[in-house]
Structure 1
């Protein structure tokens, strides 16, 4: 007898899922009309300006990182040059 209840439970679950999908499908046009009247829109996609702003922010961060690397490299080269210049002056004297 429990097998019958298990089968009934399974088919009842499937029926609920199908009913839920059917109600959702039937109410979509109504939901859209209400949104049009009320003006409540769904989550908007990022605008073109927002996308450009995000790209510019990324470029800014990348440029900042590259500038820091360039400054560090220049400092290192300058320190190396100064170090060699001082040792060359000491050797020459």
Structure 2
């Protein structure tokens, strides 16, 4: 008897999954039409490549800033050294 309930539960779950997929399939054109009319679009998830490119861009910006700071610091030390030698 318990196996009958287990089977029924399994098939009910499958029926729900199929119904959900069918409803989604039927409503997709309507969703697209509403999005066109309202001017909102589905933003796709960034791909793995796009995420890596964004990370690299961020690292590039940070490295560029650190390099500028290092150059400014070196110029300051060089100027101080030259002033000290002239005295």
Same fold (TM over 0.5): yes
Cα 1:16–1:34, aligned 2, differ >3 Å: closer, same or farther?
same
What pairs with 1:1-93 in structure 2 (closer than 5 Å)? 1-43=1-43, 58=58, 59-72=60-73
- State the superposition RMSD in angstroms: 3.5
What are structure 1's unaligned runs of at least 5 residues?
A: 47-53, 81-93
Q: TM-score, normalised by structure 1?
A: 0.55
What is the total number of aligned residue pairs between the two structures? 74
User: Helix, strand or coil for the counterpart of 2:24?
Assistant: helix
User: Helix, strand or coil for the counterpart of 1:10?
Assistant: helix
**Pair member with larger Rg:** 1
